[in-house]
Structure 1
Amino acid sequence: MRENAPPRQLTFDLPLDPRYGREDFLVSPANEAAYALIEAWPDWPDTVLILTGPAGSGKSHLASIWATRAHAWTVAAAEIGAASVTHLVSNGALVVEDIDRADGLDEAALFHLLNLARERRCPVLITSAQAVDALGIRTPDLRSRLRLAPGAGILPPDDALLRAVIVKLFVDRQLVVDLSVVDALALRIDRSLARAREVVSELDRDALGRGRRITRPLALAVLERLGMQEEPD
């Protein structure tokens, strides 16, 4: 008599809060320049610094580390307006997140904020997934100010960092997997920490739904479903 397959379990796609502590940041050649810049505070070369890197590369993590040390407020670039500039600078330190994602960015307000920050010696850390010249800033003075701001970029992760991040993502979800699973993912996914997060989340959801532990065959099946089954040349 054939046994019935185990029923699929209901899964709840609850958001997993990322851990943004200093001890949770993994330093590698891909991000060591950016990490060193954050660690150099308060001995920064300028009032305004820009941190660039692709989505999921760790910009927000580094910004959070600095914000904790500097007691800085954090605001999305899209939320900056003329009425909020003085208030934002009044705290003494500020993170401006995702300047590249600010549709309809109030350039006049941002320029005023940077000028006021310089006048009041309020350090400002700006994050962006794109270099300044790719942002499409129309205001010449603002574009020039951002170009002159020192900063650091985060590069795509090397093999060691990608594997370490995959392990950390599993640990954060309290999942124990064999290293063969980590190797299978690292060899096949895009060299992107954002993609690593997406795949680990999908594996967790799939394993929970099936009531199975995460194995290499399951990992390969999920990668195939996501169009990433083939190992790159």
Structure 2
Amino acid sequence: MDRPRRDTAPPRQLAFDLPLDPRYGREDFLVGPANETAYGLIEAWPEWPDTVFLLTGPPGSGKSHLASIWATRAHAWTVAAAALTGEGVPHLVSNGALVVEDVDRLQGRDEAALFHLLNLAREHRTAILLTAAKPVEAIGLATADLRSRLRLAPGATILPPDEALLRAVIVKLFVDRQLVVDLSVVEALVLRIDRSLALAREVVAELDRDALGRGRRITRPLALAVLARLGLGSEGDE
């Protein structure tokens, strides 16, 4: 009588999708050609040419990280642009420094509150750092005076990362998750994903979940398989 075959494959582990707290310290921000202008202007505070500074860049490019660095230095409060209300503006200005995140999500909301905030900030010399994923012209603001005020605000744009910055960020993402990977894994990702820090975070998180679920370490073949599953390359791509 044949003995039943034993399953020698390692048991799959439950992979809990726990959020990884972002590390927004100054020492955690990696500077490269794509963001060095924005970083330099943040570092130049309080020697800004105006009370308002506009920081733009694609999602995941590091706007919130830079805003957090500045907020720590300036002892600033942080508020979402979509949460602004006219009655809350005087209280926000009273702090002396303020971060207003995601101005591009303001469309259709209280544009008058932001315009009032900018006017009051100039009157009280309150420093305001605005962040947006789109340039002013692409936000679709209905208030002409607000569009004009934002266009005139000094600022900087974070560009897509170059290969060196993308590589450094991917390494840091693995380190932040306490994952040890071979350099070939990093190179496989750098060569196959778009120059996007947001996409790099997504891919590293997926690799972490996949490796934990399989009870395996992250290898280049596993990385290629995950990239293929995400539509970022063929599993057999060399």
Residue matched to 2:160? 156
How high is the TM-score relative to the length of structure 1?
0.97
Structure 2 CA distance for aligned equivalents of residues 145 and 128 of structure 1: 15
**Gap runs ≥5 in structure 1:** none
Aligned to 2:10: 6
8 Å CA contact retained: 1:13, 1:205:
yes
Aligned equivalent of 1:119, options 113, 118, 123? 123
Q: Which amino acid aligns with 2:116?
A: H
CA distance in 2, matches of 1:204, 1:140: 47
CA distance in 2, matches of 1:223, 1:97: 31
Q: 1:138 Cα deviation (Å)?
A: 1.1
What is aligned with 2:25?
A: 21
CA contact (8 A) 2:107 2:142 kept: no
* Equivalent position of 1:145 in the other structure: 149
Q: CA deviation at 1:103?
A: 4.6
Q: Provide the secondary structure at the position in 1 that maps to 2:37.
A: helix
Residue 74 of structure 2 is matched in structure 1 by 70
SS of 1:155's partner is coil
Partner of 1:224: 228
Alignment partner of 1:32 is 2:36: yes
The residue that corresponds to 2:180 in the other structure is 176
Deviations 1:152-204 (A, max 9, x none): 00000000000000000000000010000000001111110000000000000
- CA RMSD in angstroms, aligned pairs only: 1.3
**Aligned counterparts of 2:19 and 2:107: Cα–Cα separation in 1:** 25
Unaligned 5+ runs, structure 2: none
In structure 2, C-alpha distance between the alignment counterparts of 1:94 and 1:221, rounded to whole Å: 44
* Counterpart residue identity of residue 118, structure 1: R
Match of 2:171 among 167, 178, 182: 167
Asked if residue 211 in structure 1 is aligned to residue 215 in structure 2, the reply is: yes
Question: What is the number of residues matched between the two proteins?
Answer: 232
Moved more, 95-104 or 71-80: 95-104
The match for 2:137 is: 133
The counterpart of 2:192, out of the listed 188, 202, 207, is 188
> 1:4 Cα deviation (Å)?
2.4
Residue 50 (structure 1) aligned with residue 47 (structure 2): no
SS in 1 for 2:129: strand
Q: Give the distance between the partners of 1:103 and 1:139, measured in 2 at CA.
A: 10
Structure 1 segments of 4 or more deviating over 6 A? none
Deviation at 1:137, TM superposition (A): 1.1
CA distance in 1, matches of 2:158, 2:87: 33
1:98 aligns with 2:74: no
| CA drift at 1:83 | 1.3
Q: Distance in 2 between matches of 1:83 and 1:98?
A: 20
SS at 1:156's partner residue?
coil
Q: Is the 8 A contact 2:107 2:141 kept in 1?
A: no
Tell me if structure 2 keeps the 8 A contact 1:47–1:124: yes
Alpha carbons 2:15, 2:212 under 8 Å: kept: yes
Q: Per-residue CA shift, 1:94-153, capped at 9, x if unaligned?
A: 000011123532111110000000000000000001001111111111111001000000
Q: Distance in 2 between matches of 1:138 and 1:29?
A: 34
1:210-233 deviation per Cα after TM superposition (whole angstroms, max 9, x unaligned): 00000000000000000112499x
Shift of 1:55: 0.4
